[in-house]
Amino acid sequence: MALMKGLRRDEVRSDIAAARVTARQYAGGGGTAILGFSVGGHIAMLGATAMPFDLVVNYYGGWLLDGGIPLAEPLPPVADSEAIAANAGFVLGLFGANDFVMSLDEWHRIGRRLDAAGVAHEQVTYHEAGHGFFNDERPDYYDAAAAEDAWQRTLNALAKHVRTD
Nearest one of 81, 54, 63, 55 to 12, comparing CA atoms: 63
Can you tell me whether residue 159 is helix, strand or coil?
Answer: helix
* pLDDT cut 70: percent of the chain above it: 100
pLDDT band at 163 (very low <50, low <70, confident <90, very high): confident
Close Cβ partners of 126 (under 8 Å, ≥ 6 residues apart): 94, 95, 96, 97, 133, 143, 146, 149, 150
Q: Report the number of distinct structural domains present in the chain.
A: 1
Residue 158's pLDDT is 96
Nearest one of 95, 113, 112 to 104, comparing CA atoms: 95
Range of the domain at 74: 2-161
- Residue 50, Cβ neighbours under 10 Å: how many? 17
- Residue 38, Cβ neighbours under 10 Å: how many? 20
Least confident piece of the model among 10-14, 20-24, 120-124, 151-155: 20-24
CATH number for position 131 = 3.40.50.1820
Residue pLDDT, tens place only, 59-111? 999 999 999 999 999 999 999 999 999 999 999 999 999 999 999 999 999 99
Cα dist from 32 to 78, 82, 111, whole Å: 20, 20, 23
User: pTM for the whole thing?
Assistant: 0.95
